[in-house]
Amino acid sequence: MSDNRIKNIESTLLSDNYYILKKLRFDYLMRNGKWVNQMREVYDRGDGAGILLYNKEKQTVILTKQFRMPTYQNDNENGFLVEIAAGMLDKDNPEACIIRETEEEVGYRLKEVKKVYEAYSSPGVMTEKMHFFVGEYTDDMKVSDGGGLDTEHEDIEVLELPFEKAVTMLNNGDIQDTRTIVLLQYAMIHKLLGD
Ligand SMILES: Nc1nc2c(ncn2[C@@H]2O[C@H](COP(=O)(O)OP(=O)(O)O[C@H]3O[C@H](CO)[C@@H](O)[C@H](O)[C@@H]3O)[C@@H](O)[C@H]2O)c(=O)[nH]1
Ligand SMILES: [Mg+2]
């Protein structure tokens, strides 16, 4: 079977109201050797970055809590979600983005971060690739209360929690953001906060 299993891609713009939603029609070569015409809607809002902030000495992590309309539309009773600090890349590289977002959202100015994964967020629907980081914070890195940008009406609550509490929330199903689950599990697997 040929390596190139996609041809004749036709793209129609459905919305560029805020980000970009396209309808893509294309011919796809099935494993059984037949060409079929397929249609997929694809949402492009760029790539993102997120970080788990941790403090070994205090045995704490920093998470955020904010209203997420899409979750409010789907089963999340009050629409608030506990998440890692995260943002969209805009024109930054992932590392610069996550350092900027950390300061905007939770008020800590980091010098160093460690990239641990790069992964597609929701590959059936979105183009978004997410860059996952972990970073150590200490009290002397605090430069503001965070909370997000007023100009964008961000309203972010900063949660500094014992790591153990975050793990309990994860195990109880109180953390429902995939990216946050991934990084808390990373911290557990790699014993970021010690044994
Ligand atoms: N007016 C308007 N504003 C929007 C819209 N969508 C987003 N925004 C604005 O854009 C800001 C984006 O803030 P960021 O901190 O950069 O992004 P984020 O929403 O936290 O996104 C992060 O999490 C997402 C998962 O929910 C990730 O998809 C994303 O890559 C990133 O990591 C939001 O606060 C909001 O003000 C929209 O449709 N309309
Ligand atoms: Mg954000």
pLDDT tens for 16-70 read: 999 999 999 999 999 999 999 999 999 999 999 999 999 999 999 999 999 999 9
pTM confidence score: 0.95
Residue 194 lies in a domain: no
Same domain membership, residue 127 and residue 57: yes
Query: How does pLDDT run across 95-114, given as a tens digit for each residue?
Result: 999 999 999 999 999 999 99
Q: Give residue 6 CA to ligand 2 midpoint distance, Å.
A: 35
CA 93 to chain centre: 15
| DSSP-derived secondary structure letter, 142 | B
CATH number at residue 179: 3.90.79.10
Nearest in space to 39 (alpha carbons), one of 14, 70, 20:
14
In this structure, the residue with its CA closest to atom 37 of ligand 1 is 18
**Which stretches of 47-110 are assigned E, i.e. beta strand?**
48-55, 60-67, 80-83, 85-88
Whether 183 and 50 have beta carbons less than 8 Å apart is answered as yes
Same domain membership, residue 100 and residue 38: no
C-alpha distances out from residue 24 to 11, 16, 38, 124, 154, Å = 5, 15, 8, 13, 33
Confidence of residue 132 (pLDDT cuts 50, 70, 90): very high
**What is the reported pLDDT for 13?**
98
**What is the reported pLDDT for 91?**
83
In this structure, the residue with its CA closest to atom 22 of ligand 1 is 87
Confidence of residue 2 (pLDDT cuts 50, 70, 90): low
- How far apart are the C-alpha atoms of 117 and 114, rounded to whole Å? 10
- How far apart are the C-alpha atoms of 66 and 159, rounded to whole Å? 11
Whether 92 lines ligand 1, by a CB cut-off of 6 Å, is no
Same domain membership, residue 37 and residue 67: no
Same domain membership, residue 118 and residue 86: yes
For residue 1, pLDDT over 70 is answered with no
Q: How many domains does the chain have?
A: 2
Range of the domain at 35: 6-44
Q: Give residue 45 CA to ligand 1 midpoint distance, Å.
A: 9
**What is the reported pLDDT for 90?**
83
Same domain membership, residue 177 and residue 127: yes
Same domain membership, residue 181 and residue 146: yes
Count of CA atoms in the C-beta half-sphere (13 A) of 53:
29
Q: Which residues have C-beta within 8 Å of that of residue 124, sequence separation ≥ 6?
A: 40
Same domain membership, residue 56 and residue 87: yes
Whether 159 lines ligand 1, by a CB cut-off of 6 Å, is no
ipTM of the complex: 0.95
Same domain membership, residue 35 and residue 89: no
Residue 31 lies in a domain: yes
Same domain membership, residue 57 and residue 26: no
Q: Give residue 32 CA to ligand 2 midpoint distance, Å.
A: 43
Query: How does pLDDT run across 146-187, given as a tens digit for each residue?
Result: 999 999 899 999 999 999 999 999 999 999 999 999 999 999
Whether 152 lines ligand 1, by a CB cut-off of 6 Å, is yes
Same domain membership, residue 78 and residue 33: no
Whether 150 lines ligand 1, by a CB cut-off of 6 Å, is no
**What is the reported pLDDT for 113?**
98
Same domain membership, residue 146 and residue 133: yes
Whether 86 lines ligand 1, by a CB cut-off of 6 Å, is yes
Q: Give residue 183 CA to ligand 2 midpoint distance, Å.
A: 16
- How far apart are the C-alpha atoms of 37 and 9, rounded to whole Å? 10
- How far apart are the C-alpha atoms of 117 and 131, rounded to whole Å? 6
Rg over CA atoms, the chain: 20
Residue 1 lies in a domain: no
Same domain membership, residue 98 and residue 36: no
Residue 72 lies in a domain: yes
In this structure, the residue with its CA closest to atom 38 of ligand 1 is 18
